[in-house]
Amino acid sequence: MTHPLLSYEPFPEPPAPILDYIAARSADPSVAGGPAPWDLGALTPELAAPMPAWLDAVCRWLNSRYAWQPHDVIPPCWAKHEGLAYEIVALAFARADALPDAGSAVLWHEQYGRFLIRIQKALGRSGDECRAGRHEDRPSRFQLAVWPTQEMNSEQQDHD
């Protein structure tokens, strides 16, 4: 019988364009000032394109390895929660940085625990619905809707 440790799946590898970009940032001064690969909103369309599939694989891997309790599950609608996407990509890249050193790997697991706490805070009561496949668009939308538009802010500053 095969030992269970021999059936562990490796962490999903970042997409090739991202790995190439990381290598270029290290070697090419003209690329070194480019956005960090975990800054999703700053990536070029070419670099951003493979990220959803990779981050989905990361979420599936994390859920299958670490989500022992229902509230630890990263919901399938993670991409609809912009803050969650930023958290997931940072955690994924931090894991690669942590692996060369056992002490850093322990710290990554502590970061993962804090990540779960932030997920709970971000999702709040809607987290259970999201985890059950019933995504609710941003519960705070009503509170956010009262913020004035950028134009109104500019006009108000002009009058002050």
pLDDT at 124 (0 to 100): 81
Residues 44 and 71 in one domain: no
Let me know if residue 34 belongs to a domain: yes
- pLDDT of 30: 82
pLDDT of residue 39: 95
More confident residue, 98 or 86: 86
**In this model, does residue 105 exceed pLDDT 80?**
yes
User: Is residue 35 over pLDDT 70?
Assistant: yes
Q: Is residue 2 part of a domain?
A: no
- Answer yes or no: do 152 and 128 share one domain: yes
Residue 3 lies in a domain: no
Is residue 154 domain-shared with residue 80, that is, in the same domain?
yes
- The answer on 143 and 89 residing in a single domain is yes
Same domain, 76 and 143: yes
Longest Cα separation, the chain: 77
The CA distances from residue 7 to 42, 59, 62, 103, in Å, are 37, 19, 16, 24
* Token pair in block for residue 106: 């322990």
**138 pLDDT more than 90:** no
Name residue 160's amino acid.
Answer: D
Q: Would you give the DSSP letter of residue 39?
A: -
Instruction: Look at residue 101 and tell me whether its pLDDT is greater than 60.
Output: yes
Kindly report the average pLDDT of the chain as a whole number.
87
Q: Is the dihedral of CA 38, 44, 47, 49 positive or negative?
A: positive
Q: Is 58 within the bounds of a domain?
A: no
Alpha-carbon distances of 107 from 95, 102, 111, 138, rounded to whole Å: 10, 9, 6, 31
Q: What is the pLDDT of residue 154?
A: 59
Quick one: tokens of 5?
């440790």
Determine the average pLDDT of the residues in 115-132: 85
Q: What is the pTM of this model?
A: 0.81
- Total domains, the chain: 2
Residue 65 token pair: 């390895």
Residues 133 and 69 in one domain: yes
**pLDDT at 63 > cutoff 90:** yes
How large is the average pLDDT for residues 85-92?
96
95 within a domain of the structure (yes/no) = yes
Instruction: Please determine, for residue 109, whether its predicted confidence score (pLDDT) is greater than 60.
Output: yes
Its domain, for residue 100, covers 65-159
